[in-house]
Amino acid sequence: MKGTAIAPDAVVLTADEATAVMDRMFEVRCAAEDVATAAAESASPAELAALCATLLELAREAERLR
């Protein structure tokens, strides 16, 4: 932003947008923990596949900034 101390390549988010990004990242971490727990508990391939599909969906959603 010209004329400010903000770097030209900075990404500026509203407080709501920043909260939403953090919420999506929390969902991704929880889903990853679910996969790790299921693997440690010898879950079936079908259950692991379902958990991985959820993890991938949440990770894709987390990539968006808006």
Q: Is residue 2 part of a domain?
A: no
Short-list 47, 27, 22, CA closest to 37: 47
Residue 24 lies in a domain: yes
| Per-residue confidence (pLDDT) for residue 66, from 0 to 100 | 63
Nearest to 49 by CA among 61, 37, 35: 35
46 within domain boundaries? yes
Asked whether the beta carbons of 35 and 48 are under 8 A apart, the reply is yes
Let me know: does 55 contact 35? Beta carbons within 8 Å: yes
Structural domain count of the chain? 1
Contact 58, 27 (CB under 8 A): yes
| 66 residues of the chain, pLDDT tens digit each | 567 888 988 888 999 999 999 999 999 999 999 999 999 999 999 999 999 999 999 999 998 876
Look up the domain containing 19 and give its range: 15-62
21 in any annotated domain? yes
pTM to 2 decimal places = 0.82
